[in-house]
Amino acid sequence: MFQKRSFALFLIVGVMNTVFGYAVFALLTLTGLHYSIAALLATVIGVLFNFFTTGKIVFENRSPAAIVRFVIAYGVYYVLYVLSIGFLKHLGVDSLIAAAIALPPLSVVSYLLSREFVFRDQRRDLQ
């Protein structure tokens, strides 16, 4: 289904990207920027950072041409995440628990979107 080593790298890079995005948000907020503007800027900067770290470290793809596919994949992931949370909330699950339940399967979806759609041109097969 997918290579274990590249998926493990994907998860490690995902943690690094999350820490980076939060740090940008925190820094912007601490400088006095309104949280909504800080969140927007942190998201844009985070997506760019995520694109380059995921592409370079996980898929050895340094081509900026895949950025549009990366943004589309982020959009697909977001929609699936929100729908998953909504479905679980409809079943009576708390939002925070629903989000935690949705993360593992959606991490696999995100990895597959990155491997098969975003970085498909120059990806390498890791074992």
| pLDDT score of 122 | 53
Residue ranges for the chain with pLDDT beneath 50:
1, 123-127
Question: Contact, 104 vs 94, CB < 8 A?
Answer: no
User: Which of 124, 108, 117 is closest to 72 using CA atoms?
Assistant: 117
Question: Contact, 20 vs 83, CB < 8 A?
Answer: no
Segments making up each domain of the chain, as ranges: 4-118
Dist. CA 123–CA 7, nearest whole Å: 13
This prediction's pTM: 0.77
Report how far Cα 96 is from the mean position of its chain's Cα atoms. Answer: 18
Question: Contact, 73 vs 67, CB < 8 A?
Answer: no
| pLDDT score of 49 | 93
CB atoms within 10 A of CB 92: 7
